[in-house]
Structures are given as C-alpha cells and as structure tokens.
C-alpha cells in the first residue's frame, strides 16, 4: 500500500485511471437514466414517480459511500500516516456532499406526490440531513487545517472517523423507528425489486459510482498540485529572502 | 381526498437536478484540476 504513497507514482496511475472511470461512468449512468425515464415500466402504486428512483438511490448510496471513503482514508492516515490518504478523504468530501444534497432534494420531490409532504422529520430524512451538515463541517475543518501552513490534517481525520457513527444510524433508521420511508429494497445478494426496476437501477449505481471515483481522482490531482505549487513558491520566497538577507 | 399532481413535473425536475448537477460537478473538478496543475507548472519556472 505504501508503494502508492509516492505522489509521482500516484499521478502516473491517476492520469490513465481517471478517464477510464469517468467515460464509462458517464455512458453507463446516462444509459441507465434513459432506460429508467423512457423504457422502464411505471409502478402499480406509485405510477410514474417511481422513475425518481434511478437518481435518488444512486445519490443516497454515494452520499453514504462518500463518508465511508472519508472514514476509511482517515483511519489509514491516522494509523499508517499514509500521505495520500488525507488527500483522498478531502477529495471525497465535495462529491459526497453533492450526492447527499441530490438525495435530499430528489427525495423531497418524490415525497410530495407519494406522501403528500415535501419533508417529514423522521429518522431516515433527518439522519441524511445530519450527514449533509457533517460534510459541510468536514469541508470547513479540512480547509482550515490545510490553510494553517502546518499541513495538520489530524483534526479532520478524527472528525471523519467519529462522523462515521451516522452511517449505520441512516441505514437502520427505517427499521429502528416508524417511518414513511420504505425499508431497504436492496441488500447484499438480495433484492425485493422486480428485475424491470432492478437492472436499470444497478447500472445507474455502477455508472454514478465510476463518476464518483473519477471526480475523487480529479480532486486528488488538484489538491496535490496545489500543495506542490505552494511548497515551491514558499521555497522560492525563502531563497529570495535568504539571499537578500545575506547580501 | 387525494390531491392529483402531475408526476412528470417531479420526475423531470429530479432528472434535471441530478444530471445537471453531476455534469457541473464533473466540469468543475476537471477545471479546478487543470487550473491547479497549470499553477504548479508555472511555479517550476525560475
């Protein structure tokens, strides 16, 4: 694993891996959404609104998945001091927050025709909103930690680990508390959905996951380039100051 | 009494937000990556 801690090796890998994730991701997600919008059947009870599923479920999956990446990378950073792990955690925060927001907005758009309400303060919706606030706090903390000039990213890493407590709460909220939200239809190796709905959904989830991976790599490259540029400029400034002082 | 709403408005809005937002996020991440990498190249110049 420490072989990938070398930034030059990571950049070589990221340069070809990023388009390899983004291009198939866009094709798969786009194809699945066209399938869901025009070719998948309407559902008996919910009618046409069920088509929101193909946006809402991948967004929920990646909203929670993004924080799992942050928690995993934070753990690696704290335990093994892997220099790129902190960057991976920071890079996953913005796309994670974006997909959480899309999940909340599309859930609200689904809730209005299905439940007759834009929003209800039940366990699933509230814990998902808490996740969005956790993302905002993480982004602010990580920004402050990188801006202090010390490169101290232990505080956001600890926050990333502690915040992971919310993930099982989101997952089990529909089982622990009474909720308008339906219980999970998909779990590992089991599905309560008919294949007509399941296949476009799985392809959409795969496509959006590849897009997520590509965006995380692009963000990591941006953060790495930013750190390297700042380090060079600092060295130049110190060199100029040093030669000026000796003269 | 159940309120009659046009479901397609909600479906289309969801798709517009999901697809438009994802396209913007991809474009922004690629643009900020290119900008940061150009700045790194400039910092190499003596």
- Note the helical H segments in chain A: 7-34, 53-80, 83-115, 123-147, 154-163, 166-176, 195-246
- pLDDT at res. B31: 97
- pLDDT at res. A213: 97
For chain B, the 3-state helix, strand and coil shares in percent, each to the nearest 5, are: 85, 0, 15
What is d(CA B10, CA A113) in angstroms, rounded to the nearest whole number? 8
- pLDDT at res. A95: 97
What is d(CA A115, CA A149) in angstroms, rounded to the nearest whole number? 50
Number of domains in chain A: 1
10-residue stretch averages of pLDDT, chain A, 247 residues long: 72 92 97 95 87 96 97 94 89 97 96 90 93 97 77 84 94 84 73 86 97 97 91 81 61
- pLDDT at res. A26: 98
- pLDDT at res. A239: 77
Check: CB of residue A217 under 8 Å from CB of residue A70. no
- pLDDT at res. A57: 95
The pTM assigned to this predicted structure is: 0.91
Q: Higher model confidence: residue A91 or residue B46?
A: A91
Of B10, B30, B39, the CB nearest to A110: B10
Of A109, A208, A232, the CB nearest to B14: A109
- pLDDT at res. A81: 85
Domain of A145, in residue numbers: 2-184+193-246
Angle between helix B7-44 and A83-115 (nearest 10): 160
Per-residue CA distances from A29 to A196, A200, A211, B20, B41 (Å): 16, 9, 8, 13, 34
DSSP 8-state class, residue A182? P
Is residue A47 classed as helix, strand or coil in its secondary structure?
strand
- pLDDT at res. B26: 98
Check: CB of residue A103 under 8 Å from CB of residue A128. yes
DSSP 8-state class, residue A43? B
Q: Provide ipTM, 2 decimals.
A: 0.91
- pLDDT at res. A42: 87
Q: Higher model confidence: residue B35 or residue A172?
A: B35
State which residue of chain A sits closest to B37, comparing Cα positions.
Answer: A225
Token output for A127: 């814990």
Phi and psi torsions of B5, nearest 5°: -120, 150
Encode burial over A202-232: b for 16+ CB neighbours within 10 A, e otherwise: bbbbbbbbbbbbbbbbbbbbbbbbbbbbbeb
Token output for B14: 């969801």
Choose from B26, B33, B39 for mutation: most chain A CBs within 10 A. Answer: B33
Beta bridge partners of A43: A47
Of A29, A33, A229, the CB nearest to B39: A229
């Amino acid at each position: 694993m420490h072989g990938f801690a070398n930034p030059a090796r990571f950049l070589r890998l990221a340069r070809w891996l990023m388009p390899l994730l983004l291009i198939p991701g866009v094709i798969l997600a786009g194809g699945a959404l066209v399938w869901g919008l025009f070719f998948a059947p309407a559902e008996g009870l919910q009618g046409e609104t069920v088509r929101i599923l193909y946006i809402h479920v991948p967004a929920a999956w990646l909203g929670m998945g993004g924080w799992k990446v942050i928690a995993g990378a934070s753990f690696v950073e704290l335990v093994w001091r892997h220099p790129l792990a902190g960057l991976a955690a920071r890079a996953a925060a913005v796309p994670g927050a974006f997909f959480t927001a899309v999940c909340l907005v599309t859930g609200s758009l689904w809730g209005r025709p299905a439940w007759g309400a834009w929003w209800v303060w039940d366990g699933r919706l509230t814990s998902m909103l808490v996740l969005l606030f956790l993302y905002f706090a993480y982004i602010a903390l990580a920004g402050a930690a990188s801006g202090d000039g010390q490169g101290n990213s232990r505080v956001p890493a600890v926050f990333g680990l502690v915040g992971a407590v919310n993930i099982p709460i989101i997952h089990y909220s529909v089982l622990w508390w009474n909720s308008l939200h339906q219980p999970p239809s998909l779990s590992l190796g089991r599905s309560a959905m008919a294949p007509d709905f399941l296949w476009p959904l799985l392809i959409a989830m795969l496509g959006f996951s590849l897009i997520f991976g590509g965006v995380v790599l692009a963000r990591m490259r941006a953060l790495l380039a930013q750190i390297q540029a700042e380090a060079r400029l600092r060295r130049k400034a110190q060199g100029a100051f040093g030669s000026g002082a000796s003269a | 009494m159940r309120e009659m709403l046009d479901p397609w408005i909600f479906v289309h809005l969801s798709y517009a937000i999901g697809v438009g937002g994802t396209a913007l996020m991809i474009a922004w991440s690629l643009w900020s990556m290119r900008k940061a990498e150009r700045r790194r190249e400039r910092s190499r110049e003596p």
